[in-house]
Amino acid sequence: MNKKRNTDPYHEREATRYENPIPSREFILDYLENSIGPLTHPELCRAFQLKTEEEIDALRRRLRAMERDGQAHRNRRGAYGALDKLNLVKGRVSGHPEGYGFVLSKGAEGDIFLSGRQMRQVLDGDEVLVRVAGHDRRGRPEGAIVEVVERRTERLVGRYFSESGIHFLRPDNPRISQDILIAPDAVGGARPGQFVLVEITRQPSKSAQPAGRVVQVLGDAMAPGMEIELALHNFSIPRVWPEGVEAQVAAIADEVPDADKENRVDLRDLPLVTIDGEDAKDFDDAVYCQPVANNGWRLFVAIADVSHYVKPGSALDLSAYERGNSVYFPGQVVPMLPEKLSNGLCSLNPEVDRLCMVCEMRIDREGVVKQFKFYEGVMHSRARLTYTQVAVMIAERGQADSPVRKQFRQIVNHIDALHDLYQALKAAREQRGAIDFDTVETRILFDAQRKIEQIVPVVRTDAHRLIEECMLCANVCAATLLGKSKLPVLYRVHEGPREEKLEDLRAFLGELGLGLPGGSEPTANDYQAVLEQAADRPDADIIQSVMLRSMTQAVYQPENVGHFGLHYEAYTHFTSPIRRYPDLLVHRAIRALLRSKKRVAHLKRCPGAESLPLDRAYPYGIAHMLEGGEHCSMTERRADEATRSVLDWLKCEYLLDHVGDEFRGVIGAVTGFGIFVELQPLYIEGLVHITGLPKDYYHHEAAHHRLVGERTGRAFHLGDVVQVRVARVDLDERKIDLDLIDGREPGAGRKNRGSKKKARSRATGSKTRGQAGDKSTRPSKRALELAREHEEQRTAQQRGKSTKTKKEASGKKPAKKSKAKRKPGAKSQKRKSATGNRRR
């Protein structure tokens, strides 16, 4: 064994992960810290006596990963040094609407504050090296920018203005507070007030603000669809297919060739059906349930075989990876795959043959999966059913004259079997102790001009839930199979709540006479016990809301730490490869096992199918999974933020016609600068600034989610019902200001707000099929948006501290400056008060 490598204290750990291990990150850092100066990649290879091409390339990838993660820095000579030794921190700039910002770094203990002066030389998203120069008055580390490592902003969208002969862009991205100067001959025919796309021609510096030129005029502010156009640009969501993708798609047949159907399990005689929403166009999954006499059921979950068409490293694959997932805006979808695949050849459309990856399970009467196997199949969907149709079939079971049951008489018995299975799976879920939150999800109804007609709650039925439980079963089986295979894969992991969140939650529950069992590490079962205990209380919705906010966000990563909310030891995403890239990776792993000669349980191999070496069929290592997990988690968050931005715009646009109107509302969040109120029955949220509360000094008691008046003792709690008036709507900033009409109903809570949605877990946001409580690329539930946004507001304000603000003696709010009247290039004067529909 190499002597140099043998001195690595983490060599055994690396040997369990890699067949030919290289020095660990810890050992590399220690070596760099003790070296005379920075070392190049070849110098490190010689130092560690790495000679094979595989080892040399592996070290190169590790050094790049360490650079990416802020552990090492590569200078202009290409030499690496340990950032700790250089007293530098590398990270990404995150701007704030007030002009200051933070450096977010994995290598630092916390975020590093950047003053407005420092922010003048960078834009949101830039990669920088900073030196901690001291601490601000709040005790936060304050940084000085040493070097801008990478400029991440090449183009920006915003509104074009011309004032006093100066032309400039006011960015739509609220994290960028600098205006972009535009030369008179570079306005591209834009009219003042129009939204434009600008290419940055000069990045900001200490002595000059950024400049650019108009490359596209997007249109007027109120043009239909403008909100989606802006979101696509602001969040850098790809929507144009590269030429290589179009060429590859053009070469794919419109229907499945007969040759592709060979060497697969033929399921075309099974009455598989798809069950989706009325407006769904891409059908990932089909199901069939067959009762087994006195012994439970056989469940078939057939998933679109996307991996047959999208090969690793192809143009289609690279494009799908870049997108990460489909993005579902209200009334419009930006798909991960071209329409020919997403709505055509991969979609399990009715009455056509389709290739599929199948998870076949035997489930006993207690809802426990006793056996399962995966295989490649070919299927023929018998029907494209909607949730509404299936819900009626279930409700009218036993009614001989049911029109819907008559219409689908050939498959209705299989739907009944599915519902029977669901009852068993539901009981098993309760026995397992998964968290079962009850929240409201809404749907926007548009008129012909794409203006909001109505915002309505989504009615959830057993039709939705039975599909979700079937998908959960398949996802868990996939995780079990891949865990046994030892292949590097992406798990969907959801860690338990953090200590500081638990402290706040316990303080809140204690005041209500409730307690969270489980000590410092409560389980999902402990959370569910509190929810059940509080179910019949008038403040049950408020308790649930606070418990939601204590949860962490689920992510994709190769290290399996289980799924807290769903209470699974292992969980992955298998059921939606048309719209999620991690699912496609899982399919590739399963196919690689099926086509290899490796002995693995739970597989059904087809005679005649082509055998492939495992490393050729699945060319991924742990480094690929680490990077892929981070990327796919990012694209998921990006999709949620973009969708929320569009929803905020549409809601503001809707309320423009209601300025001055009064509404009854519920306090949905309490911050140090005011209360956010959800207007009923609109499901739209706005802010009552602290200066708009009755005259007093108000202390923000974060743990108890309330503002308390120092002199009067008057308190505004989460869940109180108040009467408000719409005072101001700012479409550009997606903000709604409300005036409080004195009077409130304390502790009224949120009961009877409308139809409820059983969201399986906070686990990561809005639930979609097969994830029960996992966050999806579809619009997030309002309660979870509120949780995420409120926590970011707390970070930006005095976190955890009591805040005092006194209403002005006159009772008037501070004067608001017109956005278009701000001096070009001046620091933003955006009020931190007007953050209804907050976009951070």
Domain boundaries, the chain: 3-84, 87-150, 155-221, 497-550, 646-821
> Is residue 410 packed enough to be buried (19+ CB in 10 Å), middle (13-18) or exposed (0-12)?
exposed
Q: Is the peptide bond before 42 cis (omega within 30 degrees of 0)?
A: no
CA dist., res. 550 & res. 762, Å (int): 9
Flag whether pLDDT at 291 surpasses 90.
Answer: yes
Query: Residue for token digits 């360490």?
Result: 66
Flag whether pLDDT at 178 surpasses 90.
Answer: yes
Q: How many CB atoms lie within 10 A of CB 771?
A: 29
CATH 1.10.10.10, applies to 3-84: yes
Residue type (1 letter), 172: D
Of 782, 707, 716, nearest to 743 (Cα)?
A: 716
Per-residue pLDDT tens digits for 53-94: 888 988 998 998 888 777 788 887 889 987 766 678 888 999
pLDDT at 4: 52
Per-residue pLDDT tens digits for 495-531: 999 888 898 899 889 888 899 998 889 999 999 999 9
Of 187, 159, 393, 162, nearest to 273 (Cα)?
A: 393
How confident is residue 821, by pLDDT bands cut at 50, 70 and 90? very low
Beta bridge partners of 377: 265, 356
Flag whether pLDDT at 837 surpasses 60.
Answer: no
Share of the chain above pLDDT 70, in %: 87
Flag whether pLDDT at 583 surpasses 50.
Answer: yes
Mean pLDDT, the chain, rounded, equals 86
Beta bridge partners of 213: 199
- Residue with the bigger pLDDT between 488 and 751: it is 488
Flag whether pLDDT at 787 surpasses 60.
Answer: no
CA dist., res. 322 & res. 40, Å (int): 30
Q: How many CA atoms lie within 13 A of 435 on its CB side?
A: 29
Query: Residue for token digits 């006195």?
Result: 294
Are 593 and 603 contacting, i.e. CB atoms less than 8 angstroms apart?
A: yes
Residues 6+ apart with CB under 8 A from 536: none
Strands (E), 695-813: 698-701, 706-709, 715-717, 721-730, 735-745, 757-759
Fold for the domain defined by 646-821? OB fold (Dihydrolipoamide Acetyltransferase, E2P) (2.40.50)
User: Lowest-confidence range among 450-454, 534-538, 594-598, 782-786?
Assistant: 782-786
What pTM value is reported for the model? 0.81
Flag whether pLDDT at 359 surpasses 80.
Answer: yes
pLDDT at 816: 40
> In what helix (H) or strand (E) does residue 133 lie, and over which residues does it extend?
strand 127-135
Q: How many CB atoms lie within 10 A of CB 713?
A: 8
CA dist., res. 185 & res. 714, Å (int): 58
Are 414 and 644 contacting, i.e. CB atoms less than 8 angstroms apart?
A: no
Flag whether pLDDT at 365 surpasses 50.
Answer: yes
CA dist., res. 573 & res. 214, Å (int): 42
* Mean of pLDDT values over 280-307: 95
CA dist., res. 255 & res. 73, Å (int): 51
CA dist., res. 87 & res. 72, Å (int): 11
Residue 816 DSSP label: P
* Mean of pLDDT values over 238-253: 94
> Is residue 486 packed enough to be buried (19+ CB in 10 Å), middle (13-18) or exposed (0-12)?
exposed
Give, in order, the Cα–Cα distances in Å from 183 to each of 85, 213, 820. 44, 7, 18
Residue type (1 letter), 132: V
* Mean of pLDDT values over 674-696: 93
Strands 273-276, 332-334: pairing is unpaired
Reading the block at residue 812, the tokens are: 């008037």
pLDDT at 746: 53
Topology agreement, domain 3-84 and domain 646-821: no
pLDDT at 65: 85
Residues 6+ apart with CB under 8 A from 780: 640, 643, 644, 765, 766, 788
CA dist., res. 8 & res. 28, Å (int): 9
pLDDT at 106: 74
pLDDT at 301: 99
Flag whether pLDDT at 807 surpasses 50.
Answer: no
Per-residue pLDDT tens digits for 663-681: 999 998 999 999 999 998 8
CA dist., res. 743 & res. 725, Å (int): 12
Q: How many CB atoms lie within 10 A of CB 252?
A: 14
Give, in order, the Cα–Cα distances in Å from 773 to each of 277, 494, 533, 564. 18, 10, 21, 11
pLDDT at 146: 86
Residue type (1 letter), 120: R
pLDDT at 211: 98
Per-residue pLDDT tens digits for 254-269: 999 999 999 999 999 9
How confident is residue 753, by pLDDT bands cut at 50, 70 and 90? very low
User: Lowest-confidence range among 25-29, 107-111, 309-313, 442-446?
Assistant: 107-111
Fold for the domain defined by 155-221? OB fold (Dihydrolipoamide Acetyltransferase, E2P) (2.40.50)
Q: How many CB atoms lie within 10 A of CB 31?
A: 18
* Mean of pLDDT values over 476-501: 94
* Mean of pLDDT values over 104-116: 82
CA dist., res. 813 & res. 824, Å (int): 25
Are 210 and 203 contacting, i.e. CB atoms less than 8 angstroms apart?
A: yes
Helix%, strand%, coil% for the chain, nearest 5: 30, 25, 40
How confident is residue 777, by pLDDT bands cut at 50, 70 and 90? very low
pLDDT at 441: 83
Residue type (1 letter), 647: L
pLDDT at 805: 39
Q: What three-state secondary structure class fits 113?
A: strand
Q: Alpha helices of 170-328 — where are they, by DSSP H?
A: 226-234, 243-250, 258-261, 315-323
Ranges 17-31, 274-288, 601-615, most confident: 274-288
> In what helix (H) or strand (E) does residue 423 lie, and over which residues does it extend?
helix 412-432
Flag whether pLDDT at 586 surpasses 50.
Answer: yes
Residue type (1 letter), 70: G
Q: What three-state secondary structure class fits 359?
A: strand
User: Lowest-confidence range among 421-430, 556-565, 568-577, 799-808?
Assistant: 799-808
Tallying the residues shown for the chain, one arrives at 840
pLDDT at 774: 42
User: Lowest-confidence range among 77-86, 163-172, 197-206, 517-526?
Assistant: 77-86
Query: Residue for token digits 């108009």?
Result: 214
Ranges 33-47, 244-258, 506-520, most confident: 244-258
* Mean of pLDDT values over 691-706: 90
Strands 265-266, 369-380: pairing is parallel
Residue 521 DSSP label: S
Q: Alpha helices of 539-606 — where are they, by DSSP H?
A: 540-549, 581-595
Fold for the domain defined by 87-150? OB fold (Dihydrolipoamide Acetyltransferase, E2P) (2.40.50)
> Is residue 716 packed enough to be buried (19+ CB in 10 Å), middle (13-18) or exposed (0-12)?
buried
Longest dimension (CA), the chain: 87
Q: How many CA atoms lie within 13 A of 605 on its CB side?
A: 16
Q: What three-state secondary structure class fits 379?
A: strand
